[in-house]
Structure 1
Amino acid sequence: MLFTHILALGIPCIVALVVASGLTRRRVYPLPLPPGPRPLPFLGNALQLDTKRPWLTYTAWGKTYGKIIHSRILGIDLIIINSETIARELLDKRSANYSTRPVIRTNKLSGLAFNTVLLPYGETLRQHRKIFHQVLRAEVSVSYHEMYSRHANQLAINLLNATSDLQQHTRAYTASLIMAVTYGHLAHGHEDSLLTRVHELVDIGRYIISPEKAAIFTAFPFLEKLPFWCFGGAFALIGRCRELCQQLLNEPFSEVKTQMANGTASHSLVADFLSQAHDDADEDTMKAVALTTFLMAMVLYPDVQARARAEIDQVMRHDRMPCLDDRASLPYLDAILLEVLRWYPIIPLGVPHATTNDDIYGGYFIPKGAIVMVNQWTLSRDEDMFSDASRFDPSRHLTVYGKLKDPFVNHFAFGHGRRICPGRWFAENSLWTAAATILAVMRIDHAKDSNGNTIEVKPEFTAGLVM
């Protein structure tokens, strides 16, 4: 375990810090903190935490301590929200106090601090979101429908021709679509150099930017002076992560500038931006906004798949492919995608928020600077909201009349308050188009072994910030 490794590196330091923490006067709070497990001196609850899948620990604690709980890891206060109602009460209705991000040292060390999602609340973030709003708001996102369809058709062809590792094609679809819209970059298959580096960056980043892991560097700043290979695992790749960030920020951006000078640039977000007058600071902002990755997951049960295909076949009566113009007539497909996001949340603990000032909720004190996380895993398993929650059932998102209960973009997977995902319309449209195309042209079934017997599938998911 990571914490065990760090403990082995710094036992003398920890002993000194534990003694010092006992001599330091604790802040006196006017009200009790939210309930939670009893912490050890300085270490807090670090040794009680499943560092690979902390959302499971927080879910178990929630059954004992309630819908809002307090934990402390190496001196850092964590507030974990296990309720959609509380998440909206705090992050939506009190967004002025819950819209910044915690200072996570691994973000800067790995070169990821530029990312819009990770920025603290302030002027730079407002510039980023303004650009996002201009190019990815609902009405503009729909205008990319031809590009969605073209990439989705290629995805279907790639899946039909695939002999192994279907995931490489779904990942390539997501990344290539983003690169096309952002830079006008036409990817050359899943082995495209830019896409390969994007995937490598995502794979590294999802393991090293969680608050639980970053707490180590906050508690022990001297660790930053050590070579990262000392820590093993993903931390050893921090230098590589920093290198990839610089490459992906600068290379495609410079390529668009060169193409514009030569008169060969395709229509893209960056080309549109550069065609207007902006200063260098704005150009750096644009680079940061450009590097975004949307992750897609789709798991279909045979009966669900059959119902979705029947819906598509009923609407597509003129031997054509479904497109976004048909979306209102295909509510069950939307319900499938809502259930995909709920069934196994892609980011099980969301992206952490932080409090700007002290706050009080339900008689509990929430201190300034606390890290606030919405446990999306617990929300997805709330039996009051989703009966038989472990079952994949798109019908739970439909009314008795077959209409969607809630808009897709309101799903908790897109976050809360002022930090809700500004690219959610683009994400849902691209996901919807891919799903519609796949279901319209192919049937998804179990593989067979050499004897013709069905090969059973056991769902397994990675750990980290992204599951």
Structure 2
Amino acid sequence: MMLFTYALGALCIVALVVASGLTHRRVYPLPLPPGPRPLPFLGNVLQLDTKRPWLTYTAWGKTYGKIICSRILGIDFIIINSETIARELLEKRSANYSTRPVIPTNKLAGLDFNTVFLPYGETLRQHRKIFHQALRAEVSVSYHEMYSRYASELVINLLGDAASDLLQQHTLTYTGSLIMAVTYGHHARGHEDPFLTRAYEFADIGKHILSPERAAMFTSFPFLTKLPFWCFGGALSLMGRSRELAQQLLNEPFNEVKAQVANGTASRSLVADFLSQAHDDADEDTMKAVSLMGYPAVETSTSVLQIFLLAMVLYPDVQARARAEIDQVVRRDKMPCLDDRASLPYLDAVLCEVLRWYPVAPLGAPHATSNDDVYDGYFIPKGMIVMVNQWAMSRDEDIFPDASCFDPSRHLTVDGKLKDSFVNHFAFGHGRRICPGRWFAENGLWTAAATILAVLRIDHAKDSNGNRIEVKPEFTTGMAIRPKPFHCSFESVNTTREGHIRAMMNSK
């Protein structure tokens, strides 16, 4: 926020001089979608919650409709506040909505290889093809033993130490271990693993600097890209650190696997398989980029897992019902596994509700139009930035009554069947840019949730006087959000299952 305040102060002075030239607008054959009246040059920036813009867009949607237009520093944005409209434009008209806008901070931070922000084209197709080979549905299911092993490790860690700071570290270790094992064959050595700590720092910087709202000043004033990063303050001052981390993470783990392949010690992994085979459609630089893109998934999957634990603390009745379903389907001396999933619809409903209750990427990743379009009488120009407000979708009272309440039953039919699959949730995006790792993510999250509930009861922690420590949902900001540290306790409710996973851990 300090960055935005100082930068806007300086830019306002410049704007007074050049406003007449910069505020000239193109004339369109039809009106743009409605939105709040913009100020000259500044647009709506002073009306926007710059830390949580999705809240502002949601409030505007109640006044102006499900599709609105906002302007920031001379740049127009379309914001979609409806899943129906998102599916109509991003899926049915996907050929026109599958590219990405140019985000100047992406290149400045050394992230121009980033799959998420690649324009639609051949490089993106190469990336997605590699992702598909390693993370498609049938392959993701084959990782079930790995999911179970790391989920068991997570349960033991939670049972041993539930301090709020280590809770975040334990969940990070679980999701990070999964993706690093599949990508590099690397077993993370706890939350202090050097690859894992750098990856988390890398993802954390990225989520604060890549939003279109934050990058708008660089688009409007290209000369700012020539200034040293430190002068911006705040998250943008870390763009140099991001470039450094990107190079380390692109090369070091990849080169480690390359050495292992050469001496015959490499474990099976995406990178090892690539290096062991001939490829006509991808080179090492492409493979490095694809491999590194697993790290942002660590950030989002960790957030989802932490939101799950937060919900279980705040809604003990939901937790008890999910555990009862597991105990009814799975023998009490066995652990639930992916083979049991079809018989556990309430647990899937819990996870669907976790994604809805607090979407981890409230505005997703921005899309851009490849050509002019018209929707419901509104003109959407070529090159327009289009953002999907997942937060507004999650709070649509017509679809989700009492939307602030955590209620998994809303995802079940009257006879207890799941209404829609987890991977079709709007949290994974839309159209041709839907998350290619969604099956891997859902299987990992499901296994973690099932293992935790089968063994542990999650409750409020108590202070030194024995008084319950209250928990209030509070979240960080950025393109991806996660719960702020909260206190909770873990108690084993099935010593047989606990003994089973301890024995499995000791046999590794």
The TM-score bracket by the shorter chain reads over 0.9
Task: Tell me, in whole angstroms, the C-alpha distance in 2 between the residues paired with 1:280 and 1:306.
Answer: 50
Query: Which SS does the other structure have where 2:71 is aligned?
Result: strand
Contact 2:191 2:197 (C-alpha < 8 Å) held by counterparts: yes
Task: Tell me, in whole angstroms, the C-alpha distance in 1 between the residues paired with 2:342 and 2:13.
Answer: 64
Query: Which SS does the other structure have where 2:459 is aligned?
Result: coil
Displacement of 1:12 after TM fit? 4.0
Displacement of 1:11 after TM fit? 4.2
Unaligned runs of 5+ in 1: none
Task: Tell me, in whole angstroms, the C-alpha distance in 1 between the residues paired with 2:461 and 2:434.
Answer: 39
Contact 1:79 1:370 (C-alpha < 8 Å) held by counterparts: yes
Task: Tell me, in whole angstroms, the C-alpha distance in 2 between the residues paired with 1:86 and 1:12.
Answer: 39
Which one-letter code corresponds to 1:287 in the other structure?
K
**Counterpart for residue 217 of structure 2:** 216
Contact 2:126 2:282 (C-alpha < 8 Å) held by counterparts: no
Query: Which SS does the other structure have where 1:77 is aligned?
Result: strand
Identify if the C-alpha distance between structure 1 residues 255 and 284 changes in structure 2 by more than 3 Å, giving closer, same or farther.
same
Query: Which SS does the other structure have where 2:28 is aligned?
Result: coil
Output one character per residue of 1:5-52: Cα deviation in whole Å (capped at 9) or x when no partner. 113334442222213225x4x321111110001111221111111100
Which one-letter code corresponds to 1:112 in the other structure?
L
**Counterpart for residue 319 of structure 1:** 333
Displacement of 1:76 after TM fit? 1.2
Displacement of 1:286 after TM fit? 1.2
Task: Tell me, in whole angstroms, the C-alpha distance in 1 between the residues paired with 2:419 and 2:280.
Answer: 45
Task: Tell me, in whole angstroms, the C-alpha distance in 2 between the residues paired with 1:278 and 1:127.
Answer: 11
Task: Tell me, in whole angstroms, the C-alpha distance in 1 between the residues paired with 2:463 and 2:126.
Answer: 54
Which one-letter code corresponds to 1:57 in the other structure?
T
2:236 matched to 1:235? yes
Query: Which SS does the other structure have where 1:443 is aligned?
Result: strand
Query: Which SS does the other structure have where 1:444 is aligned?
Result: strand
Task: Tell me, in whole angstroms, the C-alpha distance in 1 between the residues paired with 2:12 and 2:44.
Answer: 17
Which one-letter code corresponds to 1:47 in the other structure?
L
Which one-letter code corresponds to 1:167 in the other structure?
Q
Output one character per residue of 1:203-226: Cα deviation in whole Å (capped at 9) or x when no partner. 111100000000011111111111
Query: Which SS does the other structure have where 1:435 is aligned?
Result: helix
Q: Which moved more, 1:257-266 or 1:154-163?
A: 154-163
Output one character per residue of 1:151-175: Cα deviation in whole Å (capped at 9) or x when no partner. 1111111111114221111011111
Query: Which SS does the other structure have where 2:415 is aligned?
Result: coil
Contact 2:364 2:388 (C-alpha < 8 Å) held by counterparts: yes
Task: Tell me, in whole angstroms, the C-alpha distance in 1 between the residues paired with 2:162 and 2:41.
Answer: 52
Displacement of 1:278 after TM fit? 2.6
Q: Equivalent of 2:401, from 387, 390, 403?
A: 387
2:254 matched to 1:253? yes
Task: Tell me, in whole angstroms, the C-alpha distance in 1 between the residues paired with 2:386 and 2:128.
Answer: 21
**Counterpart for residue 284 of structure 1:** 285
Contact 1:17 1:42 (C-alpha < 8 Å) held by counterparts: no
Contact 2:176 2:188 (C-alpha < 8 Å) held by counterparts: no
Identify if the C-alpha distance between structure 1 residues 265 and 212 changes in structure 2 by more than 3 Å, giving closer, same or farther.
same
Task: Tell me, in whole angstroms, the C-alpha distance in 1 between the residues paired with 2:319 and 2:20.
Answer: 60
TM-score normalised by structure 1 residue count: 0.98
Task: Tell me, in whole angstroms, the C-alpha distance in 2 between the residues paired with 1:268 and 1:442.
Answer: 32
Output one character per residue of 1:55-114: Cα deviation in whole Å (capped at 9) or x when no partner. 011011101100000111112110000101000000000000000011000001001221
**Counterpart for residue 197 of structure 1:** 198
**Counterpart for residue 136 of structure 1:** 135
Query: Which SS does the other structure have where 1:190 is aligned?
Result: helix
Q: Which moved more, 1:87-96 or 1:219-228?
A: 219-228
**Counterpart for residue 412 of structure 2:** 398
Displacement of 1:279 after TM fit? 5.9
Displacement of 1:394 after TM fit? 0.4
Task: Tell me, in whole angstroms, the C-alpha distance in 1 between the residues paired with 2:441 and 2:285.
Answer: 24
2:82 matched to 1:83? yes
Which one-letter code corresponds to 2:454 in the other structure?
A
Query: Which SS does the other structure have where 1:234 is aligned?
Result: helix
Contact 2:366 2:386 (C-alpha < 8 Å) held by counterparts: yes
Unaligned runs of 5+ in 2: 482-508
Displacement of 1:135 after TM fit? 1.1
**Counterpart for residue 391 of structure 2:** 377
Q: Which moved more, 1:119-128 or 1:316-325?
A: 316-325
Task: Tell me, in whole angstroms, the C-alpha distance in 1 between the residues paired with 2:471 and 2:146.
Answer: 33
Task: Tell me, in whole angstroms, the C-alpha distance in 2 between the residues paired with 1:457 and 1:129.
Answer: 40
Task: Tell me, in whole angstroms, the C-alpha distance in 1 between the residues paired with 2:424 and 2:18.
Answer: 44
Which one-letter code corresponds to 2:119 in the other structure?
P
